[in-house]
Amino acid sequence: MVQYQEQLDRTFAALSDPTRRGILERLGRGRATISELAEPFGISLTGLKKHVRVLEDADLVRSEKTGRTRWCSLGPQDLAEVQRWIVGYRLMLDERLDRLGELLERTQGEKA
Amino acid sequence: MTPQQTQTHVTAEGDREIVTERVFDAPRERVFQAFVDPELIPQWWGRRADRTTVDKMDVREGGEWRFVTDGPDGKTAFRGVYRAVQPPERLEQTFEWEGMPGHIVVETATFEDLGGRTKVTTRSLFHTTEERDGMLSSGMEIGLSESYERLEELLAASQRA
């Protein structure tokens, strides 16, 4: 139970950062290299590697080196069901709020 | 990742709480309305890839809600109960995914008037199965043994005093 709780704490800590959530969202569409991941966020490779490390520690991401390239993909499939549920919830929450902003913009000027 | 038109702050408060803050360029009444209007919900609630339909939406304290989503991962549903409805300032509800029943998130949204714009703060508190049992008072034994433990601690402490 303690181990499980620690796992959840790491999950929450890993998800508390928008860049790391962006990385998860991107990897949900397929594996990517470190530089491919860094590009949309406009941060250094070193900075991105730190984020990947946090995600790896939480078992949310895994990476492997092929030649000189490090490939990242979503973490182990045996990831606790609850952990996957929390990750899914977190990503869904962000998308909801994005879409709410778009709706409000679209309907600007209309009555409340 | 799509660029944000508004700034988002995210903090993790406590062990199992997710807090987001976001400013919308719309008056508070309109933002609150989007949360409680069954005709607006399908236009923003849920993932972009899914189509959301409102099955049940009884916006009052104790009233139930249920939204069905249909998309690439198939059809699923979310449900909960409204716990506090205070237009246009605050909305509190429980959130449960039917794919993982029993894992309850308590969601609180507060709406702050910034003069034409609105700051929305959402708090999502995840409950463990044990807490859920306590909440639904179906875990009488756990609750009881905890009470006994506390009683023992209290007695031990008073003995030392």
Per the document, the length of chain A is 112
Cα end-to-end distance, chain A, whole Å: 48
Using 50 as the pLDDT threshold, list the residues of chain A that sit under it.
112
Please tell me whether the overall predicted TM-score, pTM, comes out greater than 0.95 for this model: no
**pLDDT tens, B92-116?**
999 999 988 888 899 999 999 999 9
Cβ pair B46:A92 closer than 8 A? yes
Cα distance between residue B103 and residue B100, in whole Å: 6
- Which chain B residues touch A if contact means CB-CB below 8 Å? 1-2, 4-6, 8, 10-12, 15-18, 20, 22, 24-27, 29-31, 33-34, 40, 43-48, 97, 99-100, 103, 105, 120, 122, 124, 126
Cβ pair B47:A92 closer than 8 A? yes
Beta-strand pair B90-97/A69-74: unpaired
Q: Is B28 exposed, middle or buried (0-12, 13-18, 19+ CB in 10 A)?
A: buried
| One-letter identity of residue B94 | T
In the A/B pair of chains, how many CB contacts fall below 8 A? Answer: 92
Cβ pair B8:A96 closer than 8 A? no
Across chain A, mean pLDDT equals 87
Cα distance between residue B142 and residue A45, in whole Å: 49
pLDDT at A2: 64
Nearest-by-CA chain A residue for B122: A93
Cβ pair B26:A108 closer than 8 A? yes
Three-state SS for A88-105 is: HHHHHHHHHHHHHHHHHH
Closest in B17, B29, B44 to A100, CB measured: B44
Closest in A41, A82, A97 to B20, CB measured: A97
Nearest-by-CA chain B residue for A11: B16
The tens place of each residue's pLDDT in chain B, 161 residues long, gives 333 334 444 444 456 788 899 999 999 999 999 999 999 999 999 888 899 999 999 999 999 999 999 998 899 999 999 999 999 999 999 999 998 888 889 999 999 999 999 999 999 998 765 555 555 443 334 444 455 455 556 556 655 55
Q: Are B135 and B106 in contact (CB under 8 A)?
A: no
**pLDDT tens, A96-109?**
999 999 999 999 87
pLDDT at B1: 37
